Chains A and B, each alone.
Chain A
Amino acid sequence: MNADLARELIIAAAVLVFALVVQFILIPTQIEQAVEYDLASLSPAFFPELATLIIGALSILLILSHIRHLVKATPPEQIDEEPLTLSEELRIGGAMVVSIVYYFVLDYLGFWITNTVGVAVLLMIQDRRRIWRQIIIAAATTLCIYLFFYFVMKVHFPIGKIFK
């Protein structure tokens, strides 16, 4: 069994686990049932349960189809057109971390700081030279966007809790 096929099986299994978790853990806890109310339509849990049922069934079919490939020794379909190198994956991961942090600090530090720092870091991820130039670009971008949105679109960005 080659690496690709193994990866596919793991993915399919993960989907199945997801479906089971939602069905047996999330649905019972997170769906409020209405207090007695005259009801001819389906309960609120109906469609979510239908969805998890379908996902579960599909993931089982997926697993079966991969097993069929295993038995027949035919390769599964190619997924990545150009597989990413490790350093590229790391950069992508870095960008993701930047966005996660961005979200969490936006309310506290406000738009100005968060956006300038965020854009600067993203620029730096790609090109580690010329740091000052990138900070200026980041600050300038932030300024332009702020002005456009504040005056033209009348959208106010978060000021930042630490400034209040």
Chain B
Amino acid sequence: MTSLIDNLLIGLNILWTWEHLLAIVVGSTLGLIVGTIPGLTATMAVALILPLTFDMDFVTSIMLLVGAYKGGIFGGSITAILLNTPGTPASAATVLDGYTLTKQGKGVKALKMAKYSSCLADFGSDLVLIAVAAPLASVALKFGPPEIAMLIVFSLTIIAGVAGKSILKGLISGTLGLLLATVGLDPIMTTRRFVFDQADLDSGLSLIPVLIGLFALSEVFLQLGRKSKSEADHFAIVHSKDPADNRVSWREFKRSLRTILRGTAIGTGIGIIPGIGTGIASFMSYGQAKRASKYPEKFGAGSLEGIAASESGNSAVVGATFIPLLTLGIPGDIITAVIMGAFLIQGFIPGPLLFKDHADIIYAIFVGFIICDIVYFLIGSVFMKYAAYLSRVPRRLLFPIVFVFCIVGSYAIHHSVFDVGILVAFGIVGFYMQKFGFATAPLLIAFILSPIGETAVRQSLLMSSGSPFIFLKRPISLGFFLLTLITIAGIVRSHFRGKHQPLIKEETK
């Protein structure tokens, strides 16, 4: 233990220069700005900063990129809560309760809860990274295709929790997501599926346009149509005069503490396994929190716990994705893969040798992570104060601007006009789905999970030469399989028992 502290002090020494600290601040700010703009993602922020770092000192460049990563994930939550527009896929679960709270005038409260959960969870996973990186990484390696397949199947059960009023329709929505995810090249055989001879569809439907279309653009359509019914309706974001609505009380926070801890654990676990990612972590944390909560019916109707769950889930992934990267040289998700490029360009090859040869720099980076958390907490607070001014903007002006951002964000990822078409299509689809009672969150979850799941299932079958028993023979995958069965049993039981449970709506309106 003392050697750990010694190493951290050495690292702190290296880190503590104006240049490095400035990099953290600039990175976090840029990340926050980009993440907050609906349609622009944390991935984009990091990818755009990367080329700028080539001429910089290594620690500076990494701090810049990591700051952007963390800031970006958090920034996405701000628009998710205020405008029903997830700024990144990671915040998709936050809209479920966040936007509802905003409509109730409690937007600031929601933002603050998001801030606390994110920072705590981020901090938590950073601690895990620093303390136990190496042994955890070897556990992560045990997740081969069968384990991932069963993990995905288990994750799919979350759909039941976000299906809304009609679970049948929610399941249809989810299966539709599965179907849409197959558009593109088959992952194993690389043959074309549902491509209709459009080369643009070879890579499948891009996630961002689908996400923004389903959640944000559909909302834009709705809002553009609505005539203002009263003076207060003029403004998109209701700003409540009641001070209790603008802060999170200690009691409220305490109630969500367990959820935050759970979310941190889930996010850390998912981050360590290469290839899964933030969006799934936030949904899984949300689903688990709902199941464990004393007030499950509040989830979706404006539950602070829900926000705590999804925010802690997605933030905890960030620190954890560096565990496989630094110890084994395997990036935990896309953004970490981009950052790995930065490592390589600078001449530092991530992997076991890195700890041996450059331990001091690694610890400097670790300390940087912690400082990053503090910095983005502060900058985030400032940001949120200004974000609250959005409530002064009249609705008829705000939503056309959000519309533009949706389009621009979808275009900017691949410089593709086709992606704009996907955006528009899913905006329309999302609107009518919600109108007819089909929840859109299940579609998104299935859309994200299915490609990974299908690939994993088929790879597993290749490994076992066609025998499906491979999923049951290996301990970890068997574990998740049983977990899935238990969860499904639980869902079915509660469905038939509490079928006529009325939705408890908040009294304030």
In the complex, A touching B (Cβ < 8 A): yes
A: residues with CB less than 8 A from B are: 11, 15, 22, 26, 30-34, 37, 39-42, 44-45, 47-48, 50-52, 54-55, 58-59, 61-62, 65, 77, 79-80, 84-85, 87-92, 95-96, 99-100, 102-103, 106-107, 115, 118-119, 122-123, 125-127, 137-138, 141-142, 145, 149, 153-158
**B179 close to chain A: CB less than 8 A:** yes
B386 to chain A, nearest CB (A): 17
With a cutoff of 8 Å between Cβ atoms, the chain B residues found around residue A26 in the complex are: 194
Contact of B182 among A51, A96, A99, A102 (CB under 8 A): A51
Asked if B175 and A100 sit within 8 Å, CB to CB, the answer is no
B403 at the interface (CB under 8 A from A): yes
Q: Is the CB of B175 within 8 A of A58?
A: yes
| Residue with the greatest number of chain B CB neighbours at <10 A, chosen from A22, A85, A103, A127 | A103
Cβ of B226 within 8 Å of any chain A Cβ, yes or no, is yes
**B449 at interface, CB cutoff 8 A:** no
Contact B404 A59 (CB under 8 A): no
How distant is A34 from chain B, measured CB to nearest CB, in Å?
5
Q: Is the CB of A154 within 8 A of B417?
A: no
Bound Cα distance from A102 to B417, whole angstroms: 10
Residues of B within 8 A of A44 (CB): 186, 188-189, 191, 193
Q: Taking the complex as formed, is B458 at the interface, i.e. its CB lies under 8 A from any CB of chain A?
A: yes
The interface residues of chain B lying within 8 Å CB-to-CB of A149 are: 408, 412
Tell me if B196 is interfacial: C-beta within 8 Å of chain A: yes
* Cβ contacts B147-172/A at 8 Å (1 or 0 each): 00000000000000000011011011
**Residues A122 and B403 in contact in the complex (CB < 8 Å), given A34-B189, A95-B224, A156-B415:** yes
A123 to B393, CA, bound (A): 14
Chain A to chain B contacts (Cβ below 8 Å), 26 pairs:
A26-B194, A31-B194, A32-B191, A32-B192, A33-B191, A41-B462, A41-B466, A47-B454, A52-B179, A65-B168, A85-B227, A92-B221, A92-B225, A102-B424, A103-B417, A115-B404, A118-B403, A119-B400, A119-B401, A119-B403, A122-B400, A123-B397, A125-B224, A145-B404, A153-B412, A158-B417
Number of A-B contacts (CB under 8 A): 165
A127 neighbours in B (Cβ, 8 Å): 396
Q: Closest 7 CB pairs between A and B?
A: A92-B225, A41-B458, A32-B191, A44-B186, A51-B179, A126-B396, A91-B225
Do A31 and B424 have beta carbons less than 8 Å apart?
no
Chain B residues contacting A92 (CB-CB under 8 Å) are 221-222, 224-225, 431
Q: How far is the CA of A162 from the CA of B463 in the complex (A)?
A: 54
**Do residues B179 and A95 form an inter-chain contact, with CB atoms below 8 A?**
no
With A41-B458, A48-B179, A95-B221 given, is the CB distance from A102 to B396 under 8 Å?
Answer: no
B334 within 8 A of A: no
Q: Does B461 contact A (CB under 8 A)?
A: yes
- Which chain B residue lies CB-closest to A122? B400
In the complex, which residues of chain B have a beta carbon less than 8 angstroms from the beta carbon of A156?
415
Q: Are B222 and A41 in contact (CB under 8 A)?
A: no
Cβ contacts under 8 Å, A85 to chain B: 227
Q: How far is the CA of A40 from the CA of B465 in the complex (A)?
A: 6
A81 to chain B, nearest CB (A): 10
Distance (Å) between the CB of A27 and the closest chain B CB? 8
Give the most central of B171, B189, B431, B465: most A CB within 10 Å. Answer: B189
Q: State how many angstroms separate the Cβ of B164 from the closest Cβ of chain A.
A: 10
* Distance to closest chain B CB from A134 (angstroms): 9
Considering only residues 3-52 of chain B, those with a C-beta below 8 Å from chain A are 34, 40, 44, 48
- Whether the Cβ atoms of B420 and A106 lie closer than 8 Å is yes
- Look across to chain A and name the residue whose beta carbon is closest to the beta carbon of B166: A77
Residues of chain A within 8 A (CB-CB) of B427 are: 96, 99
Smallest CB separation, B184 vs chain A (Å) = 11
- Given known contacts A52-B179, A145-B404, is B226 in contact with A88 (CB within 8 Å)? yes
Q: A40-B461, A102-B424 are in contact. Are A145 and B408 (CB under 8 A)?
A: yes
Please, how many angstroms separate the alpha-carbon atoms of A67 and B303 in the complex?
34
Give B383-429 interface residues, CB cut-off 8 Å to A: 396-397, 399-401, 403-405, 407-408, 411-412, 415, 417, 420-421, 424, 427-428
